[in-house]
Amino acid sequence: MLARELLRTSPDRIRAALAARGSDAPFAELLAADSRWREAQAELEALKAERNRGSKEVGALLAKGRTEEAEKVRSGMVKLGARVAAAEVEATALAEAVGALELVIPNLPHETVPVGPDETANRVEHSWGEPPTFDFEPRSHWDLGPALGILDFERAAKVAGARFAVLWGAGAALERALVTFMLDLHRGTGYREVYVPFLVNSDALIGTGQLPKFGADLFHIEGTELYLVPTAEVPVTNLHRGEVLEEASLPRRYCAYTPCFRAEAGSYGRDVRGLIRQHQFDKVELVHFATPETSYAELEVLTKAAESVLRRLGLPYRVVTLSTGDMGFAAAKTHDLEVWLPGQACYREISSCSNCEDFQARRADIKYRPSAGGRARFLHTLNGSGLAIGRTLIAILENYQHADGTVTVPEALRPYLGGLERLVPEQ
């Protein structure tokens, strides 16, 4: 959500930003609705002021026993009441129109974001590690996993449907090991671990920006107002919804494990094989709350924390800055981490680290009180995967594979797997 003041004072800046995003957001409608609402609101308040004066007078006259005069004023107020009611209906309708429109306007990109229509305009910042070379044709994880007996898509389809997976034996243990490994790593660098609900209400989803625009991407629990979390960003960011935090307590850095559930509407035919795009996947998420002055330094801290996971696992990756046309709705700037996947011979997204500035904080009403005193200000929120577990599992299988189909377990994970050094065929 953008500041109302900004809409009124810098409409050109917003129009330019929306154009850079390739957004068709109804900004002109929003401006017009805001203008109409202000007019109606001023009229309503003038009528209410008049009624308040009259009502007070009725009370004063009654107190003095001048009942006839009081009755005269009262009957005048009855007529005024009808006008107030009518004005209120109009002002409320306009206020709702403004509120609905401003919830579908995306965030403004930061000035350092490359301008472009889609992912081809993304800027590669740097890369780490060398893609491994093989003296055989590297296999994809959807071949390796089932051959090892640790990945089972047929049975997943039987119990749930397409875009689900079953992990057996060492596969299931590896999934669990990755979660624990990542949480331990982040806890060791100052993140506070938090365990949160996997179902959230619509207020939370509005707060982080999934609603009202992207409801089709969510799983909704029939007969309730609850949704399955599409990312831990939603429950974790909303932990402080409606709160005012002390500046001295910032930055706050939280990490959380949750499964994530996404309807993946409209992605038919894309990444249908393997674990890449699932309705359910595990993720360790990082969320920061920061002051406006420090949020871009925090974005670097967040990105480095996500990178550290890949480095510890020895997985080659690169960091890209998303272009204006490729960024998410709530983000002002996003760094994607892309891990090398030998099976597809390309880099694929494994983490997305964003500074949402005050966009979510406005929607969720999250503020901080400056140490120097003064009124509370909206803080900045950031979030990033650290990392997506399923895609990490894919990267391990594909990067650490051998010609015989076995897979080396990265050293950093062995303590979490009872010292297991190599995945070999099961059953």
CA dihedral 184, 185, 188, 194 (to 10 degrees): -50
Q: In angstroms, what is the minimal distance from the CB of 3 to RNA?
A: 8
Residue 117: C-alpha distances to residues 111, 213, 332, 384 (Å): 16, 20, 16, 23
Q: In angstroms, what is the minimal distance from the CB of 253 to RNA?
A: 25
Q: Which of 11, 23, 26, 55 binds RNA (CB under 7 A)?
A: 55
Using the rule CB under 7 A, give the single segment among 52-60, 321-329, 345-353, 393-401 that binds RNA. Answer: 52-60
Is 348 an active-site residue?
no
Q: Which of 16, 62, 115, 194 binds RNA (CB under 7 A)?
A: 62
Q: How far apart are CA 211 and CA 217, in angstroms?
A: 10
Residue 78 binds to RNA (criterion: CB under 7 A): yes
Q: In angstroms, what is the minimal distance from the CB of 255 to RNA?
A: 23
Q: Which of 9, 52, 189, 267 binds RNA (CB under 7 A)?
A: 52
Residue 83 binds to RNA (criterion: CB under 7 A): no
Type of residue found at 333? K
Query: Is the CB of residue 376 less than 8 Å from the CB of residue 244?
Result: yes
Q: Which of 15, 83, 252, 277 is catalytic?
A: 277
Residue 159 binds to RNA (criterion: CB under 7 A): no
Q: In angstroms, what is the minimal distance from the CB of 383 to RNA?
A: 24
Is 277 an active-site residue?
yes
Is 262 an active-site residue?
yes
Residue 97 binds to RNA (criterion: CB under 7 A): no
Q: Work out the burial of residue 46: count CB atoms within 10 Å of its CB; fewer than 13 is exposed, 13-18 middle, 19 or more buried.
A: exposed
CA torsion sign for 179, 180, 186, 190 is positive
The interface with RNA within residues 374-393 (CB under 7 A) comprises: 375-376
Residue 41 binds to RNA (criterion: CB under 7 A): yes
Is 351 an active-site residue?
no
Q: In angstroms, what is the minimal distance from the CB of 35 to RNA?
A: 9
Residue 197: C-alpha distances to residues 165, 201, 212 (Å): 22, 10, 21
Applying CB under 7 A, the site for RNA has a residue count of 26
Is 308 an active-site residue?
no
- Tell me how far apart the terminal alpha carbons of the chain are, to the nearest angstrom: 53
The residues binding RNA (CB under 7 A) are 4, 38, 41-42, 44-46, 48-49, 51-56, 58-59, 62-63, 74, 77-78, 80-81, 375-376
Catalytic residue ranges: 262, 277, 349, 352, 391
